[in-house]
Each structure stands twice: as structure tokens, then as C-alpha cells.
């Protein structure tokens, strides 16, 4: 009983301290949906499930029918052109936007695309996330003009992409901290990849 009380008090103090010192977004504490699909495809494509969760959070806030003004669809906001590019690799030759609203399909497409971008940018997380948002050709062009964007993403030319990378990285770091805290208080075992 004493151990539970100490753990609960520690969690409360951590959240309060984090909120005031680091501006913890409390909406990250709410339950995460589609964890089975996230974990499955993260494992399949050798990605951290917390990264996929962070991208989903920033892209759609877990709204499966989310649509952007440029036609990106679903949880991970997969563009039809991206789905067309990677679909055949996944055995999809004919699909519709409704298929991309299916959480499992959307997470599968988005996760594979993140894997491909990560490979293309030699595992650099900031460039991978930027390319997911702005497109790989633009990021390659930016990188050729200023190689420092690989470590200092505030130098990226588009404000939208800078903000996107910042928000995904911030969410990802918080989810990592929350996971470490859960492990410390014995509530969750680390994922085996």
C-alpha cells in the first residue's frame, strides 16, 4: 500500500512539475487508440511505436476519418499519391480513400512510409519527420542547401514543417518520458522489438 501511495504521489508531482516547467500537454495522458496496429506495424518495420503514436497524435489526434485540405486521409494522414507509391509493395493495387480511413490499413501504409523515409535519410529523425510532412524531395533540397537542418530543424525554410517537426519531436519525447515513468513504477514492461 505504501509503495502504491509513493508511486501515485511521484506521478502527480512529476505531472505537475512537468506541466509548469515543460508545459506538458495533458491530452497526451489520455488513452491511445489502435495500439495493437501501432505495435504490430512498428515491430514489422523496425520503428518505435511511440514515434508512430506521436505522428498520429500530431497528424489527426486519433481521428480515423480525418482529411486534410490537400487530400491526406486517416490517422496518419496518408496522401493518395503516397498510397499509390507504396501500395503495390503491400499488395494493394486498387484502393479508395475509404480504405485509407481504416485504422489498420492507414497505420500500415504510414508506418511503411516512415520506414522508407528513415532509410532514405540514414535514420535521421528530424529529416524523416520533415519529409513525412513536406515531402522527401523538398527535404533533400533543403539539406543540400543547409546540412545543419539535420540537427537544427529550426533552420528548415517552411514554418509549417518546422512546427510539425517540433510538435512530433515534443510529443515523442513526452511519450518516452511517460513510458519510462510507467516502467519505473512497475506498471508496464518495455516493448520487445
Active site residues: 59
Three cell numbers, residue 38: 501501432
Handedness of CA 160, 38, 103, 136 (dihedral sign): positive
Three-state SS for 150?
Answer: helix
Nearest-angstrom CA–CA distance, 133 and 135: 6
Residue with cell 508512430: 52
Alpha helices in the chain (DSSP H): 2-22, 35-44, 49-60, 80-86, 97-101, 103-120, 125-134, 136-145, 159-184
Amino acid at each position: 500500500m505504501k509503495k502504491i501511495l509513493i508511486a501515485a504521489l511521484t506521478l502527480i508531482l512529476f505531472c505537475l512539475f512537468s506541466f509548469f516547467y515543460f508545459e506538458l500537454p495533458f491530452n497526451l495522458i489520455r488513452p491511445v487508440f489502435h495500439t495493437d496496429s501501432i505495435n504490430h506495424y512498428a515491430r514489422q518495420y523496425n520503428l518505435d511505436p511511440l514515434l508512430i503514436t506521436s505522428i498520429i497524435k500530431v497528424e489527426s489526434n486519433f481521428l480515423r476519418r480525418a482529411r486534410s485540405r490537400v487530400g491526406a486521409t486517416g490517422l496518419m494522414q496518408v496522401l493518395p499519391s503516397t498510397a499509390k507509391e507504396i501500395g503495390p509493395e503491400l499488395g494493394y493495387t486498387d484502393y479508395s480513400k475509404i480504405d485509407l480511413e481504416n485504422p489498420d490499413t492507414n497505420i500500415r501504409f504510414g508506418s511503411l512510409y516512415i520506414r522508407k523515409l528513415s532509410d532514405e535519410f540514414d535514420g535521421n529523425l528530424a529529416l524523416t519527420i520533415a519529409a513525412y510532412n513536406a515531402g522527401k524531395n523538398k527535404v533533400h533540397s533543403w539539406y543540400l542547401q543547409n546540412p545543419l537542418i539535420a540537427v537544427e530543424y529550426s533552420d528548415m525554410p517552411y514554418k509549417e514543417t518546422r512546427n510539425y517537426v517540433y510538435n512530433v519531436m515534443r510529443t515523442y519525447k513526452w511519450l518516452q518520458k511517460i513510458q519510462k515513468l510507467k516502467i519505473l513504477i512497475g506498471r508496464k514492461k518495455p516493448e520487445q522489438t
